[in-house]
């Protein structure tokens, strides 16, 4: 299958590129736009972005693999991110992750991104979400939650419709 970018997204991308004196400087913005549209950044998307910016695929691939906010695999409709850095680890983020996994039928020992079979939920550990004083901290899509108890975790999952 040939990888294509819908015309409105390409127009958005052209607009983004126009804001930078050098095309290459728009790399991260383009990756954000592509991920927002497709939910992840595939190999084909990496090549497309590289061609668009007159770069080699490796120049884009190294960004996708370096920055943890970029995903190479599709994620679920609801993406749960549990902070595992020191304050949150001490505040019980391991138990929180375990609780979500048990509830969603996922593997509590897997630390990378994993997604439920129905594609509804993904969970992964992430590093510090910059709210260390209110551990444990997590996000569900764009929503941020602090001091998350196991009961609150159930409430969050229950609210994902
Ligand atoms: S350690 Fe979790 S927010 Fe900083």
Element (H, E) at 100: helix 93-104
What CATH number does residue 145 fall under? 3.40.30.10
For the chain, 161 residues long, give each residue's pLDDT as a single digit of tens. Answer: 578 999 999 999 999 999 999 999 999 999 999 998 998 999 999 999 999 999 999 999 999 998 878 889 888 999 999 999 999 999 999 999 999 999 999 999 987 889 999 999 999 999 899 999 999 999 999 899 999 999 999 999 999 98
Q: Structural domain of residue 45, as residue ranges?
A: 7-66
Cis, bond preceding 121 (omega within 30 deg of 0): no
Cβ–ligand 1 contact at 86 (below 6 Å): yes
| Same domain, yes or no: 99 and 142 | yes
* Residues present in the chain in total: 161
Q: Which of 40, 66, 92 is the last residue of a domain?
A: 66
Cβ–ligand 1 contact at 87 (below 6 Å): yes
| Same domain, yes or no: 57 and 92 | no
Number of domains in the chain: 2
Ligand 1: distance of its center to the CA of 86 in Å? Answer: 7
Instruction: Identify which of 38, 40, 28, 33 has the alpha carbon closest to the alpha carbon of residue 124.
Output: 40
Residue 119 covered by a domain = yes
Three-state secondary structure call for residue 137: coil
Q: What is the pLDDT of residue 1?
A: 57
Ligand 1: distance of its center to the CA of 27 in Å? Answer: 28
| Same domain, yes or no: 82 and 143 | yes
Per-position DSSP letters for 22-79, written without gaps between them? SGGGGHHHHHHHHHHHHSS--HHHHHHHHHHHT--HHHHHHHHHH-TT--SS---SEE
Closest ligand 1 atom to 87 CA: 1
Closest ligand 1 atom to 135 CA: 2
Closest ligand 1 atom to 93 CA: 2
What CATH number does residue 33 fall under? 1.10.10
Q: Are the C-beta atoms of 63 and 115 separated by less than 8 Å?
A: no
């Amino acid at each position: 299958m040939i990888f294509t970018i819908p015309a409105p997204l390409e127009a958005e991308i052209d607009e983004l590129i126009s804001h930078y004196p050098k095309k290459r400087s728009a790399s991260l913005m383009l990756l954000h736009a592509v991920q927002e549209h497709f939910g992840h950044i595939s190999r084909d998307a990496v090549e497309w972005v590289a061609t668009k910016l007159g770069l080699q695929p490796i120049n884009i691939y190294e960004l996708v693999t370096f920055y943890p906010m970029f995903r190479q695999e599709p994620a679920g409709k609801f993406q749960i991110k549990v902070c595992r850095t020191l304050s949150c680890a001490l505040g019980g983020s391991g138990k929180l992750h375990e609780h979500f996994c048990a509830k969603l039928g996922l593997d509590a020992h897997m630390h990378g991104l994993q997604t439920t079979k129905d594609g509804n939920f993904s969970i992964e550990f992430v590093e510090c979400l910059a709210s260390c004083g209110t551990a444990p901290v997590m996000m569900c899509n764009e929503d941020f939650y602090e001091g998350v108890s196991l009961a609150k975790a159930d409430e969050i999952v229950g609210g994902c419709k």
